[in-house]
Amino acid sequence: MNNVSQAAQIINNGGVVAFPTETVYGLGADATNDLAVQQIYTLKGRPSFNPLIIHVANLDTALQYGIFNQSAMTLAHRFWPGPLTLVVPLRQQGIISKHVTAGLNTIAIRCPSHPVTLELLRLCHHPVAAPSANRSGYVSPTKYEHVKDEFGDGVFILPGDQSSVGLESTIIDCCADTICMLRPGTITQHDIEACLGVTVSEKTTVEVINAPGQLKSHYAPKHPMRLNVHEVQMSEALLCFGECKLHANHMLNLSPDGNLDEAAANLFDYMRALDKVASVKGIAVTPIPNIGIGVAINERLARAAARD
Ligand code: TXA
Ligand code: MG
């Protein structure tokens, strides 16, 4: 049996598996199995009010679980498989575990593009509920080793490459007539607006009562982060972008060429790496242009720097 079949068998038998996707590694279980889904919350130390995304291999499967309006259909046709999650009304109570939806009457659905993830999903009998495969509140994992660091041998990890996108999926709420962006990602607000031909509103963390997982502090390294710096303090590590004149004993450049896609792919890996250095007391980050995927990078950095 190959790794993917083994992972699918574990999920079909009610177990939990970590697996690669193009965004970040996920920690997955059968979305229809209460006990299996509960294990995810326990392993992550995740608050039970924070709902999970279900992952499906194609749109037809998604339509069995969610009610797609015209906007949701258009977005799914345009961006799936890929790094986009759609929040839509739940089609029927009682099939998907209430722990997945945290009791809401809406559901977040994503069809990922990573070939290994898709193969896994095709072999699973039900949708796979999966948050990012990190302990709740810590930085999301983009490499096999990151997941290993988080869970050791406690979880079966399906091996894979480094996540090519490196940031979690864009989340779009399609439940009402007004389309809302709940989480920015590599598919930008502009991409969504260009696809639908309408204005997309952004919900702030406070407004997002239907996404209680959007807590302010998230993705946080153990060490404090300072953003948009123009100088580095003693015992701070430096995370920089593009041409950089600053210097620190421990420094990593997200993209020396100033490429935002490359910076996104490196972000969580480099945050984890600098956070691990014993002598480092904080992480200073130089400004990153707030355009395109830079918006999502800056949103993750702002959360990482928030301490409440
Ligand atoms: O790229 C991704 O989306 C990754 C990979 C593994 O697919 N998953 C991921 O899951 O980032 P997680 O649990 O770390 O983030 C899911 C977010 C949470 O902020 C949660 O609150 C929100 O989705 N969410 C889930 N169901 C929702 C719903 N019904 N309404 C609004 N927000 C929801
Ligand atoms: Mg997460």
Give tens-digit pLDDT for 1-16.
799 999 999 999 999 9
Strand partners, 173: 87, 180
Q: Is 109 in the pocket of ligand 1 (CB under 6 A)?
A: no
Could you give the C-alpha distances from 71 to 17, 180, 216, 289, 297, in angstroms and in order? Answer: 32, 11, 28, 30, 26
- Residues 104-125 have a mean pLDDT of 98
| pLDDT reported for residue 64 | 98
Q: Is the pLDDT of residue 276 over 60?
A: yes
**Cα 23 from chain centre:** 6
Q: Which ligand is nearest to the CA of 66?
A: 1
Q: Which ligand is nearest to the CA of 52?
A: 1
Measured in angstroms, how far is the CA atom of residue 160 from the centroid of ligand 2?
A: 19
Question: Given ligand 1 and candidates 168, 183, 210, which is best to mutate, with the most ligand atoms within 8 Å of its CB?
Answer: 168
Q: How far is the CA of 81 from the centre of ligand 1 (A)?
A: 16
Residue nearest to atom 30 of ligand 1 (CA): 211
Decide if 27 contacts 131 (C-beta within 8 A): yes
Claim: this prediction has a pTM higher than 0.85: yes
pLDDT for 217: 57
Q: What whole-number distance in Å separates Cα of residue 306 and Cα of residue 217? A: 5
Pocket of ligand 1, candidates 44, 132, 164, 219: which has the most ligand atoms within 8 Å of its Cβ, to mutate? 132
